[in-house]
Homo-oligomer: A and B are copies of this chain.
């Protein structure tokens, strides 16, 4: 087995909350000692999308399944069966989050939610930023103060219909 010091694996105590595909995929990822960066690069998708797919929060296309099967040595038939449905999203963890990393993201919404709304409304009018017609990326910056995580959220603006 490769050195997997920096490989995210599936916590055994949340397995029951996720679809069976999550265990299949994470087990193979651990065995292969692959990062999401390398898998994402192989699939031509973003890292966050691939991690979401592993957690059952995003859909796999037939091409994704094909590539995952090859890369992770999982029989294609098995992956097709486990990933064939429509994701049942939103149940990966409790809300409010108890995991410190995820809580910080939640806290940003809690503290800045109304500020975002006011600024977005002034820029776009009455509506929302879609979380569906949506993409997101994560990258790392380093300066003299240390490392910085930068998360970008990009969503289609949807104005409320007038009816």
Minimum CB distance partner of A52 in chain B: B115
A4-35 interface bits toward B, Cβ cutoff 8 Å, 1 = contact, 0 = none: 11111111111011111000000000100001
Which single residue of chain B is at the shortest CB-CB distance from A88?
A: B11
How far apart are the CA atoms of A11 and B59 in the complex, in Å? 13
> Does A49 have its Cβ within 8 Å of any Cβ on chain B?
yes
Q: Which of A148-163 contact B (CB under 8 A)?
A: 148-163
A47→B125 CA distance, assembly (Å): 16
Minimum CB–CB distance from A18 to chain B (whole Å) comes to: 6
Interface size class of A (residues with CB under 8 A): 35 or more
Instruction: From the candidates B91, B106, B132, name the one contacting A158 in the complex (CB within 8 A).
Output: B132
Q: Provide the A83-125 mask, 1 if CB < 8 A to any CB of B, else 0.
A: 0111111111111111111111111111111111111111111
Tell yes or no: A135 within 8 A of B by CB. yes
User: Known interface pairs A132-B100, A138-B120. Does A157 touch B162 (Cβ–Cβ under 8 Å)?
Assistant: no
Q: How far is the CA of A6 from the CA of B119 in the complex (A)?
A: 10
The reply to whether A149 and B124 contact each other, CB–CB distance below 8 Å, is yes
Interface residues of A (CB under 8 A from B): 4-14, 16-20, 30, 35-37, 45-49, 51-52, 54-59, 61-62, 81-82, 84-136, 138, 140-141, 145-163
> What are 20 contact pairs spanning A and B, CB under 8 A?
A5-B62, A7-B84, A9-B85, A14-B88, A30-B81, A35-B122, A37-B122, A37-B123, A54-B118, A61-B162, A90-B99, A91-B94, A96-B96, A101-B129, A102-B114, A105-B116, A105-B131, A133-B159, A134-B160, A151-B152
